[in-house]
C-alpha cells in the first residue's frame, strides 16, 4: 500500500551538498523523510517543481526588524513576510533598533514573544554586547541567543551604544568562556570622527563626501584591532557586512593563523557601486558605504575564491521620510538598505546566471555555512533526510523586474526597485508548510518558531 505524506515535492532539481539531482522529496511532520527519483506514495498536498531548482531555504544571519518599540519602522510581520517571499526560511534578528535593545533577558523574552506571534518563518535572536551589560551575557546565552553583537563605531540609534576597547576586551573574554560567537560591525570610530571634522569645515554633504568619511581603511583598522583582541581572548568572531576584498584578506590571514573567525558580505556590495549610490540617492545609503567599481569587482573575486563564508542581507528598514527628507544631506539620512526580499534572487542572478558559479556553492553561502557556523546544522541548511523541510523553489525561466508594488516591507523603498533578475522565487516551504507561493503570496496562518541555540557552532 502506498505511503501518505504531508507534502510531496515532485520533479525538481534538488541542490544537494554533493551536486544536483532530479528527485522527488517527501515531507512528514515538518521533516524531510524521503528523497528518491520516484516516490511511490502520495502527499495530502503535492507541489510540482518541474523546471525548478529546489534549494535549502536561505538562512539570513543579519536582519533588523525593529520590534518591539519601532514597529512604525518595520516589525516581525512585514519583515518575515518579505523574507518568506524571498526564499528565506530562517533569519537572525539583530539586538538594536528595537526598544529596548536586546541587552538582557527581559528584553530578549519580550522580543521572542513578538516573534512567536508575528513571524511567518523561523527566527533566532542576537544578544547585545554594550557598555555595562557584561553581567547579562551568561543569562542571555542560557536563554538561547544565537550569538552577541557589538559596534566599534556609533550604531545610529541612541539606545545601542558602541563598545570602548575595555568593554570589547572583557566582553570577548566572557563570550569565549560561554562558547558563543561575537558579531562585529567594524569601522574605526576615531578615524571616521576625524574625517568628519575635516568635512564640517567644507560643508560637504554629498554621496562622495559621506563615503570619503568611511573609507576602506576604517573597516580594515577596526577589523585588525578586533583580530588582535581575538588572538588574546580566544573569542570566536563573525564579521558582518564586509565591503572590501582587502578586509577579506586580513580576515583570511587570521583564519590561516588559527583564529576562529568568519565573515559575511551583502548583496548590495556585490551589485551596486558608488556611482549607483549617486544615482539612487539616500535609499542606497548604508554603513559601510557602497564602494568604487574596482572594489565591487574585487569582492566578487574573493567570494568566488572561497574567501567569504556567507551572504546576508543586513536588511535595515526605516520610514521613507528618514531617507527622502535628507536627500541632499547624506550624513543625516538613515543608513540602511531595505533589500532582504531579494537577496537570494540577486545572488543567483549575478552568481549562477552571470558568472556560472555552481548552485551548490550559492546554497553553501546562503544556507549551509550559516547553519554550520551558528549551531543549526544539520537541522537547518541542507536538503537531507531527517532535516527540517525548509526549502525554496527557484525558476530560471522567469525574469523578475522588481517593482515598488511587490515590496512587502512596511515602507516601500529599495535600491532593488527597477532591477531585473533572471530568476524568480516561486515557493517557500518552512518546516513542511508552504508559507509563500508566487501565485498566492504569503500564507497568513503560517507561524515561525524561535530557535534557541543549544548546540555549539562549527569552525568553517
DSSP per position, 9-75: EEEEEEEETTEEEEEEEEEETTEEEEEESS-SSEEEEEEE-TTEEEEEPEEEEEE---TTT-TTT--
Would you call 367 helix, strand, or coil by DSSP? helix
Nearest to 183 by CA among 102, 87, 285, 298: 102
Are 31 and 387 within 8 A, CB to CB? yes
Residue 377: closest CA among 313, 302, 310, 315: 310
Residue 455, pLDDT score:
63
pLDDT in tens, 347-386: 999 999 999 999 999 999 999 999 999 999 999 999 999 9
User: Can you tell me the distance from the alpha carbon of 117 to that of 439, in angstroms, rounded to the nearest whole number?
Assistant: 25
What nine digits make up the cell of 116? 512567536
Quote the cell numbers at residue 31. Answer: 521533516
DSSP 113-142: HHHHHH-SSEEEEPEE--TT-GGGHHHHHH
Which of 380, 440, 398 lies closest to 58, judged by CA? Answer: 380
Helices (H), 160-305: 165-177, 189-202, 207-212, 216-233, 245-256, 267-271, 274-280, 293-304
How many of the other CB atoms lie within 10 Å of CB of 328?
A: 11
DSSP characters over 302-346: HHHTT---EE---B----THHHHTTTT-TTTS---B--GGGHHHH
109-137: b (≥16 Cβ within 10 Å) or e? ebbbebbeebbbbbbbbbbbbbeebeebb
Binding residues for Zn(2+): 62, 64, 149, 185, 241, 314
Q: Alpha carbon of 217 to those of 190, 192, 230, 383: distances in Å?
A: 12, 10, 20, 40
* Residues making up the binding site: 62, 64, 149, 185, 241, 314
- The per-residue pLDDT string of the chain (460 residues; one tens digit each, 9 = 90 and over) reads 568 899 999 999 999 999 999 999 999 999 999 999 999 877 788 999 999 999 999 999 999 999 999 999 999 999 999 999 999 999 999 999 999 999 999 999 999 999 999 999 999 999 999 999 999 999 999 999 999 999 999 999 989 999 999 999 999 999 999 999 999 999 999 999 999 998 877 778 999 999 999 999 999 999 999 999 999 999 999 999 999 999 999 999 999 999 999 999 999 999 999 999 999 999 999 999 999 999 999 999 999 999 999 999 999 999 999 998 888 899 999 999 999 999 999 999 999 999 999 999 999 999 999 999 999 999 999 999 999 999 999 999 999 999 999 999 999 999 999 999 999 999 999 999 999 999 999 998 889 999 998 766 677 8
Written as one string, the DSSP assignment of 278-313 is: HHHGGGG--SSPP--HHHHHHHHHHHHTT---EE--
Give whole-number Cα distances, 431 to 32, 33, 57, 94, 141, in Å. Answer: 9, 12, 10, 23, 25
- The full set of domains in the chain, from first to last, is 4-54+386-442 (2.30.40.10), 58-374 (3.20.20.140)
- The most distant pair of C-alpha atoms in the chain lies apart, rounded to whole Å, by 81
Identify the pLDDT of residue 459. Answer: 75
Round to whole Å and give the CA distance between 19 and 21.
7
Q: Helices 245-256 and 216-233 meet at what angle, rounded to 10?
A: 10
Mention every residue, 6+ apart, whose C-beta is less than 8 A from residue 379.
Answer: 371, 387, 388
Cβ 178 vs Cβ 145: under 8 Å: no
Which pLDDT score, from 0 to 100, does residue 456 have?
A: 65
DSSP code for 453: -
For residues 163 and 152, give the distance between their C-alpha atoms in angstroms, rounded to a whole number: 6
Q: Is the dihedral of CA 346, 350, 356, 360 positive or negative?
A: negative
Number of CB atoms found within 10 A of residue 431's CB: 22
Nearest-angstrom CA–CA distance, 64 and 256: 31
The CB density around residue 385, as the number of other CB atoms within 10 Å, is 12
The answer for residues whose C-beta is within 8 angstroms of residue 405's C-beta and 6 or more apart is 412
Q: What is the pLDDT of residue 457?
A: 67
User: Scanning the structure block, which residue is given the C-alpha cell 580566544?
Assistant: 234
Amino acid at each position: 500500500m502506498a505511503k501518505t505524506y504531508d507534502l510531496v515535492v515532485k520533479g525538481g532539481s534538488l541542490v544537494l551538498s554533493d551536486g544536483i539531482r532530479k528527485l522527488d522529496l517527501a515531507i512528514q511532520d515538518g521533516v524531510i523523510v524521503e528523497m528518491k527519483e520516484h516516490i511511490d506514495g502520495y502527499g495530502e498536498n503535492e507541489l510540482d517543481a518541474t523546471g525548478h531548482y529546489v534549494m535549502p531555504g536561505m538562512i539570513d544571519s543579519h536582519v533588523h526588524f525593529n520590534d518591539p518599540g519601532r514597529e512604525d519602522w518595520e516589525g516581525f510581520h512585514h519583515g518575515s513576510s518579505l523574507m518568506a517571499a524571498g526564499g528565506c526560511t530562517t533569519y537572525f534578528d539583530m539586538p538594536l533598533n528595537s526598544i529596548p535593545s536586546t541587552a538582557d533577558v527581559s528584553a530578549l523574552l519580550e522580543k521572542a514573544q513578538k516573534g512567536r506571534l508575528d513571524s511567518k518563518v523561523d527566527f533566532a535572536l542576537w544578544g547585545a554586547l554594550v557598555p555595562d551589560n557584561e553581567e547579562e551575557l551568561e543569562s542571555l546565552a542560557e536563554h538561547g541567543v544565537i550569538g552577541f553583537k557589538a559596534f566599534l563605531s556609533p550604531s545610529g540609534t541612541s539606545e545601542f551604544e558602541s563598545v570602548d576597547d575595555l568593554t570589547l576586551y572583557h566582553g570577548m573574554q566572557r563570550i569565549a568562556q560561554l562558547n558563543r560567537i561575537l558579531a562585529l560591525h567594524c569601522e574605526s570610530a576615531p578615524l571616521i570622527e576625524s574625517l568628519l571634522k575635516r568635512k564640517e569645515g567644507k560643508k560637504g554633504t554629498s554621496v562622495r563626501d559621506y563615503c570619503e568619511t568611511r573609507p576602506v581603511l576604517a573597516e580594515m583598522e577596526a577589523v585588525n584591532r578586533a583580530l588582535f583582541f581575538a588572538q588574546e581572548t580566544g573569542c570566536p568572531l563573525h564579521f558582518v557586512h564586509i565591503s572590501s576584498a582587502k578586509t577579506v584578506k586580513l580576515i583570511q590571514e587570521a583564519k590561516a593563523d588559527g583564529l576562529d573567525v568568519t565573515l559575511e558580505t551583502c548583496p548590495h556590495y556585490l551589485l551596486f557601486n558608488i556611482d549607483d549610490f549617486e544615482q539612487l540617492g539616500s535609499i542606497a545609503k548604508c554603513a559601510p558605504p557602497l564602494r568604487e567599481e574596482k572594489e565591487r569587482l574585487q569582492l566578487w573575486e574573493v567570494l568566488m575564491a572561497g574567501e567569504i563564508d556567507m551572504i546576508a542581507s543586513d536588511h535595515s528598514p526605516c520610514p521613507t521620510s528618514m531617507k527622502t527628507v535628507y536627500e541632499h544631506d547624506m550624513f543625516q539620512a538613515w543608513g540602511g538598505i531595505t533589500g532582504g526580499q531579494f537577496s537570494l534572487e540577486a545572488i543567483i542572478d549575478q552568481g549562477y546566471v552571470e558568472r556560472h558559479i555552481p548552485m551548490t556553492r550559492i546554497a553553501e553561502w546562503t544556507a549551509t555555512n550559516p547553519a554550520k557556523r551558528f549551531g543549526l546544522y544539520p537541522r537547518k541548511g541542507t536538503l537531507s533526510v531527517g532535516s527540517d523541510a525548509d526549502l525554496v523553489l527557484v525558476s530560471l525561466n522567469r525574469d523578475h523586474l522588481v517593482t515598488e508594488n511587490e515590496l512587502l516591507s512596511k515602507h516601500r523603498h529599495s535600491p532593488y526597485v527597477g532591477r531585473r533578475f533572471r530568476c524568480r522565487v516561486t515557493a517557500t516551504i518552512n518546516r513542511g508548510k508552504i508559507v509563500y507561493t508566487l501565485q498566492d503570496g504569503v500564507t497568513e496562518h503560517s507561524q515561525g518558531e524561535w530557535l534557541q541555540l543549544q548546540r555549539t557552532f562549527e569552525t568553517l
